[in-house]
Amino acid sequence: MPATRWRTRGGPPVAHTATGPSWRCDACGQDWPCPALRAIPTDAARRATLIPEFSRITRRAIRDLRGRPGGPDPVAVVRRFLWFLPLTDEEARAIALRLR
Ligand SMILES: [Zn+2]
């Protein structure tokens, strides 16, 4: 389970986290990583901590989500779970091949 936390202004902390195989946000029920999580600004330091964490998560998500009727293909999973990296189609494909 990812350790990323999201604190709403003035309210209690809400954990926008998710686990497989559904990969829906525990807090808002949207496809995860959800818009609230993706809205958190990522600077170089945060990206450095996100990359290893989300590489593991993306590998699991590809296994969980591929082959589902109407589900995302591995390249779409890579783009979704590594949203904080500016990836070309080529790069997303290469990562999907490495992680499957
Ligand atoms: Zn959420």
pLDDT tens for the chain, residues 1 to 100: 454 555 555 666 769 999 999 999 999 999 999 999 999 999 999 999 999 999 999 999 999 998 888 889 999 999 999 999 999 999 999 999 999 8
- Which has the closest alpha carbon to 50: 91, 20, 85, 15? 85
What pLDDT, on the 0 to 100 scale, is given for residue 62?
A: 96
* Residue 88 alpha carbon to ligand 1 centre in Å: 26
Write down the pTM of the prediction.
Answer: 0.82
| DSSP code, position 58 | H
Task: Using alpha carbons, select from 54, 38, 48 the residue that is nearest to residue 2.
Answer: 54
For residue 10, the model assigns a pLDDT of 60
Q: Of 79, 81, 70, 68, which Cα lies nearest the Cα of 32?
A: 81
d(CA 98, CA 100): 6
Distance 52 CA to ligand 1 centre (A): 21
Kindly give the distance from the C-alpha atom of residue 1 to the centroid of ligand 1, in angstroms, as a whole number. 14
> How far, in whole angstroms, is CA 68 from its chain's centroid?
18
Neighbours of ion ligand 1 (CB under 5 A): 16, 25, 27-28, 34, 36
Beta bridge partners of 24: 31
